[in-house]
Amino acid sequence: MVRLAMLRPKSIWSTVPCVKGERIATAPQARVGRVAADRAIVGARVLTLDPARPSATAVAFRDGRILAVGDDDEIHACSDARTELLDGTGTVLVPGLVDAHAHPLWAAGLARGVDCHSCRTRQDLRRALAGERARSGPGDIVLGWGADYALFDDTGLDGGVLEELAGGPALLTLFDCHTYLATPGVLERAGVRGPERFADNSQIVCRDGVPTGELREFAAYERVSGVLPASSREDALDRIAAHLERMAATGLTAAHVMDGSPDTFALLRELEARGRLPLRLVVSLWCKPAMSDGELAALRRLRDERGTLWRGGVAKLFIDGVVETGTAWLEEPDTRGGGTAAFWPDPARYARVVADFAGDGFQCVTHAVGDRAVRCALDAYAAAGAAPGVRHRVEHGETLPDGHLRRFAAEGVVCSMQPLHMQWRQADGSDEWTRRLGPERSARAWRTRDVVDSGAIVALGSDWPIAHFDPREGMAWARLRRRPGDPDALVFEPDQVLSGRAALAGYTTGAALATGDEADSGRIAPGARADVTGFAEDPIAVSGDALLDLPVALTVVDGRVVHQAQ
C-alpha cells in the first residue's frame, strides 16, 4: 500500500533562514538544526546506493538538493512548520532513475500518427493505419511509427505495399528510426524520383533506378519531411511537455538526450520558462557529416548552454547505422555482404571532429553498433584525449569482441547499452539482426554482464522511441534477457544477465558516471541533487517479471514532486 499523504511536522522550532541557492554540499549533518528542509519524505524505505549509508527511512530536501538522509527522527529534526512532509509508508525510494540514451524531443516529432509497436502482422498494420486514415482526409499523408521490419519480410520494404495497406499516401517510421518507408505518392510530392547523393551514407533505396519507398537514415528522411503534415511550434512544445510528463510517470527523473540542436536548447528554454520541464536533461548536439567545419565550430561555441534542469556540453556523432539494413559497420561483412562502410564516408574526418570537440572540453558520444564502428570510436577517443573529469561514451556496441570490450575499462570510456533492444530477436534466429550477423557475432550480443565485470562504467537506456522508455521494462530486459512476463521465452545468452542491483545501477550510478555527474547524482546522499524515485516495492528484490507492474509511487526532480500515484 502506497501512501504519500501530507503529514504535519512533529517538531516546530526556530531556524536560521537558508540563503537562497546556498549549496549544501559538505558537512550536511553539521547543518541539521540550522537549516530546515523545504520538503521531506518519512516512513519510507530508502535504498540510497550510497556506501556511506546504504539504507534509511527518510530524506529531506532543500533548494533542489538533498539536505539529509536518516531515520524519521533525524529528518523530523531538520523540518519546521514550513516543511512539506510526505508520508512514505509503503514506499521504497531509490536514486532518481535516468534513461541514459533517449530521443524524447526527436520522438515528439517522429512519433506522430499511429504507434505500430504492437503490430505483429500485416493485418494489424492495416487496421492501425485504417484508424489513422479515418481520422484524416483520403488524400492526406497518414503517419505511423514503431513498425517492425518483419512486417515486410515477404515483400521487402515496399512503398506500394504500404500504399495499399494505408489506403493512400503514408509514411511509416521503422522501429529503430533509421529507416522510413514512403508511398509512391509521398515520394512524388517530395520530388524524389531516383537515387540521390548524400554527405553521409543515407540512401534512397532504388530498384532498377526507381525508388522502392525505403529511405535509409535520417538525411534520406529529410527529403520527404517537408511534405508531411505540418506541426506548429505550440503543438511541438505541448507534445514534448506531455511526453516528458509520461516519462516522469514511469519513475524517470532524467534523460540523456542524443539528438540535440541549437533549436533543442531554445525549446527547452521555452518549456522551462513555462514551468513545463519535469525532467533533468543532458542534451548532446548532433554533429552530422553534412555539416561544414564552420557549422561544427558554431556548435562548439554552445558548450556551456544550460538552464536550471538541462545542460549541453556533449557532442553526438553516428559512426554507423543498424545491423538490420547492413549499415552497422563491421570488422567483416555481414552474411549479405553489408556492413562494410562507415556512416561518415571519411572516418578520418569523424576522428578530427571528435578531437575538435574533445579539445574544447566537450564529452563525445558515438553511436557505434558494429564492432568495426566501436573500434573506430575508441581509437578516435584515445587519439583525442578528454578534458579533466570528462569520459567519452560509446552507444550500443551490440556485438563486442573480447579485445574491444576490454578497452572500455582500460581507457575509461563509458559503455552505454540497451538490452531491451533484444525484444526484436527471435528464438529461432530468424530475425534480420541475427541472420545478418551470423552465429558467431550474434552469440556476443549485448554483453552487459561481461562489460560490468570488466570494471567499465555501464549506463542503461531505452533509445526511445526505438524501445519504450519505461525504466522498469529496461531493467527487466537487463535482468531476464527475454520477454518479461513470458517465463517460457528463450533467454538470450543467459551468462549475460544482470543482477537486480546491477540493472538498477545502470539506471542510476552508471548513468551518473556516464555524464560525469557522480558527485551530484546516482545516490541518495546529503548534498546530492534532490532526484528520487519511489516504488511500491524494492525494485532490486522483486522479480524481473514483476518489475513491469511495479507501481511508481512518486518521482521527485530537483526536490519537486513531478509525479505522484493517485
What dihedral angle (degrees, nearest 10) is formed by the CA atoms of 22, 23, 26, 27?
30
Minimum separation from the CB atom of position 518 to Zn ion (A): 23
Q: Count the site residues for Zn ion by CB under 5 A.
A: 2
Minimum separation from the CB atom of position 243 to Zn ion (A): 16
User: What Å distances lie between residue 511 and 94, 235, 255, 271, 286, CA to CA?
Assistant: 14, 31, 9, 24, 20
Cβ atoms of 313 and 260 within 8 Å: the answer is no
Q: Strands of 208-301 (E only): list them.
A: 210-216, 252-260, 280-286
Q: How far apart are CA 443 and CA 379, in angstroms?
A: 24
Minimum separation from the CB atom of position 464 to Zn ion (A): 9
Minimum separation from the CB atom of position 463 to Zn ion (A): 4
Minimum separation from the CB atom of position 343 to Zn ion (A): 13
C-beta closer to Zn ion: residue 172 or 258: 258
Q: Which residue has the cell 546506493?
A: 49
Sign of the C-alpha dihedral, residues 184, 186, 188, 192? negative
Name the 3-class secondary structure at 256: strand
Q: How far apart are CA 443 and CA 180, in angstroms?
A: 28
Cβ atoms of 384 and 359 within 8 Å: the answer is yes
C-beta closer to Zn ion: residue 39 or 178: 178
C-beta closer to Zn ion: residue 258 or 422: 258
Nearest to 417 by CA among 367, 380, 376, 455: 367
- Strand-pairing partners, residue 255, are 99, 281
Q: Is 319 in the site for Zn ion (CB under 5 A)?
A: no
Which residues 216-275 are close enough to bind Zn ion by CB under 5 A?
Answer: 258
C-beta closer to Zn ion: residue 63 or 463: 463
| DSSP-assigned letters across all residues of 504-520 | HHHHTHHHHHHTT-TTT
Q: Provide the grid cell at 77.
A: 529534526
Upper half-sphere CA count for residue 18 (Cβ side, 13 Å):
25
Minimum separation from the CB atom of position 395 to Zn ion (A): 6
C-beta closer to Zn ion: residue 372 or 393: 393
C-beta closer to Zn ion: residue 258 or 497: 258
Convert residues 69-108 into a mask of x (bound to Zn ion by CB under 5 A) and - (unbound): ----------------------------------------
CB-based contacts of 402, cutoff 8 Å, min separation 6? none
C-beta closer to Zn ion: residue 166 or 215: 215
CB-based contacts of 154, cutoff 8 Å, min separation 6? none
C-beta closer to Zn ion: residue 454 or 462: 462
Minimum separation from the CB atom of position 472 to Zn ion (A): 20
Convert residues 453-492 into a mask of x (bound to Zn ion by CB under 5 A) and - (unbound): ----------x-----------------------------
Minimum separation from the CB atom of position 452 to Zn ion (A): 21
Minimum separation from the CB atom of position 460 to Zn ion (A): 13
Minimum separation from the CB atom of position 158 to Zn ion (A): 26
C-beta closer to Zn ion: residue 47 or 177: 177
C-beta closer to Zn ion: residue 147 or 258: 258
Minimum separation from the CB atom of position 128 to Zn ion (A): 24
C-beta closer to Zn ion: residue 99 or 463: 463
Q: How far apart are CA 559 and CA 39, in angstroms?
A: 7
Q: How far apart are CA 566 and CA 561, in angstroms?
A: 13
Q: Which residue is closest to Zn ion by CB? A: 463
C-beta closer to Zn ion: residue 78 or 244: 244
CA of residue 470 relative to chain centroid, distance: 10
Minimum separation from the CB atom of position 461 to Zn ion (A): 8
C-beta closer to Zn ion: residue 62 or 256: 256
Cβ atoms of 10 and 56 within 8 Å: the answer is no
Minimum separation from the CB atom of position 495 to Zn ion (A): 26
Q: How far apart are CA 353 and CA 364, in angstroms?
A: 10
Counting every residue written for the chain, the total comes to 566
Cβ atoms of 558 and 280 within 8 Å: the answer is yes
C-beta closer to Zn ion: residue 416 or 454: 416
| DSSP-assigned letters across all residues of 362-396 | -EEEEEE-SHHHHHHHHHHHHHH---TT---EEEE
Q: Provide the grid cell at 435.
A: 541472420
User: What Å distances lie between residue 216 and 28, 148, 173, 206, 342, CA to CA?
Assistant: 53, 15, 11, 11, 14
Minimum separation from the CB atom of position 42 to Zn ion (A): 39
Give the footprint of Zn ion on this chain (CB under 5 A): 258, 463
